């Protein structure tokens, strides 16, 4: 399924090419347009430049981690309202709390099911 130009734009950021590919594949096949970033600095740059409707950000990335990316997005007027889903293998409650304290809207643990990713994105974008 190809996303039309009016489909919501999603930023997917992960330094693991396999995970990033899975996220992109699932989102594109759910009808979204997707842009990617391979580290935290690139994620912030792309979010500011392209203003996605939502961001799926890995926690453990080079340059800036997902917590810092989320804080930077929340700190700037043009990106403060972008919903953020943090994606991570970290499963400790303290890590989850840290993500929400940084301003994340949701938290998805790896490994994740493609259906769960799609459902979380749809819920945050208000689509069914």
Cβ neighbour number for residue 124 with a 10 Å cutoff: 18
Q: Cβ distance 79 to 57 under 8 Å? A: no
User: How confident is the model over 31-88, as pLDDT tens digits?
Assistant: 999 999 999 999 999 999 999 999 999 999 999 999 999 999 999 999 999 999 999 8
Domains of the chain in sequence order: 9-125 (3.40.50.2300)
What pLDDT, on a 0 to 100 scale, did the predictor assign at position 128? 44
pTM of the model: 0.93
Are the CB atoms for 52 and 9 separated by under 8 Å?
yes
Residue 6: which pLDDT band, with cuts at 50, 70 and 90? confident
**pLDDT tier at 4 (50, 70, 90 boundaries)?**
low
111 preceded by cis ω (within 30°)?
A: yes
* CA 89, 92, 93, 97 torsion-angle sign: negative
DSSP-derived secondary structure letter, 81? T
For 21, the 3-state DSSP assignment is helix
**Torsional class of 51: left (φ above 0), alpha (ψ -120 to 50), beta (otherwise):** left
CB 30 within 8 A of CB 118: yes
């Amino acid at each position: 399924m190809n996303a039309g130009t009016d489909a919501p734009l999603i930023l997917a950021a992960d330094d693991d090419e396999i995970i990033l590919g899975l996220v992109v594949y699932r989102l594109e096949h759910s009808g979204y347009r997707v842009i990617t970033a391979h580290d935290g600095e690139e994620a912030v740059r792309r979010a500011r430049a392209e203003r996605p409707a939502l961001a799926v950000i890995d926690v453990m990335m080079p340059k800036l981690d997902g917590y810092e990316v989320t804080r930077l997005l929340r700190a700037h007027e043009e990106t403060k309202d972008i919903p953020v889903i943090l994606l991570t293998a970290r499963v400790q409650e303290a890590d989850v709390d840290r993500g929400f304290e940084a301003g994340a809207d949701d938290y998805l643990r790896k490994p994740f099911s493609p259906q769960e990713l799609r459902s979380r994105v749809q819920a945050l974008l208000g689509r069914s």
